[in-house]
Each structure stands twice: as structure tokens, then as C-alpha cells.
Amino acid sequence: MKTIKIVTVLTVLICSMLAVKAQTPQEKRLAELQARQQLDKGAYETQCTIYDDDQWYTAFNQKLGEEGDPQLANSLLRTCQEQLRNKLAGKVQQITTAYFDQMDINGKSSAAEHIEGASQIAVEQFINETREYCRKQTISYDHEGKIVLYMAIRVKKSDILQVMDEAIKNDSEAKVRYNEKKFRESAFKVFNEDKPQND
């Protein structure tokens, strides 16, 4: 009885191996296309796609790499942080400009440089400490173990404003021309420009 079972199992295995080897080039190409479609489907279903809204600034990206590579996630996090850093550098500049546009003082450009500089440094340090908000990956789709890793990060607008406020107050030069109320008004003006406009 055992011999019959072993022979049956061996027969099935041999037939399976012969069937795999007997694949035509067209069949192999079809199998590759199906594997690729599965990857694309998985990628579409697992993306970490988030956008700015009235409370958050966001960044997201993706990288192709080896499954289990510990550097892949670190590298992708740095990429997302750099995207967010570039986005917020422009926002800090807009806030500073809006703030000094409403101030009637001498030496605006020098004071603006101090406030913007203190703010930029603080915001960059804040971004360096951000961690992933979303991380997903596709399943490995070939014998090399390649995957697509997705990641998103986000920072709260109110936290950015708090970081800027503290940095300015701690800078002896910047705080000389600092009016917290007017600065916050300028920041919210810039933040509100990001809101989608209703038709």
C-alpha cells in the first residue's frame, strides 16, 4: 500500500516537472505578464498616497528594492523627509514675507533674515525627527525577491507653527522684531491658501 502511494506521488511530481519544462516561450511570457499584473495590482492596492489638507503637510514616495533590506526603509524615509523639507522651506519663506508685509519698521530685510533663518533651522530639525505615517509593500514577485516599498510622512501645521514660534523667541536677534499675534495671523493666512477652493 505504501509503495503504491509513493509511486503515485512520484508520478505526479514527475508529470508536474515535465509540464513546467514543456512550457512554450509564449506560455512563459504569459506567466511573466500575469506575475507583473499581480505586482501592479498589489502596488495599486497598497500605496501610501496622502495629500496636504487643512491640518497636515505630507510627503509620500516609493522605492524598488530587495525584500528584507534594512536600508530600504531608511532610505525611503530620508527621501520623504527631503520632499517635506523642500515643501516647508517655501512655506516658511511665505510666512515671513506675509509677516513683514504688514509691519511698518526700519531694517525689514535684516529682521526678516533672522526670523526666517531661525524658523528654517527649527523646521528642518523637526522634519528630521518625523517617522513614517504609512508603510506598505508589494509581495515579492520574482526569484530575486524584489518588492516595491511605499511610505508617507506627515506633520501637523499647528506643530510647525509652534516650532517656529519657539525658535524665534529663543533667538536673541529674531525676537527683537517679533510680534507673535501678527506672526500667527501670517502663518494661518499661508496655511489657509492650501485649502481647496469650493466652486
Tens of pLDDT, residue by residue over 111-133, are: 888 889 999 999 999 999 999 99
Q: Considering the domain boundaries, does residue 198 fall inside one?
A: no
Instruction: Give the number of other Cβ atoms within 10 Å of residue 36's Cβ.
Output: 12
pTM over 0.85: no
* Lookup: cell for 93: 519663506
Residue 18 lies in a domain: no
Question: In this structure, how many other beta carbons lie within 10 angstroms of the beta carbon of residue 175?
Answer: 15
Residue 199 lies in a domain: no
Q: Which of 63-77, 92-106, 114-128 has the lowest mean pLDDT?
A: 92-106
pLDDT bracket for residue 176 (50, 70, 90): confident
Number of domains in the chain: 1
User: Is 13 contained in some domain?
Assistant: no
* DSSP classification of residue 172: T
Distance, C-alpha 143 to centroid of its chain? 28
The reply to whether 8 falls in a domain is: no
Whether 101 shows a pLDDT value over 80: the answer reads yes
Domain that holds residue 50: 24-193
Residue 25's pLDDT is 67
Indicate if the pLDDT at residue 17 is higher than 90: no
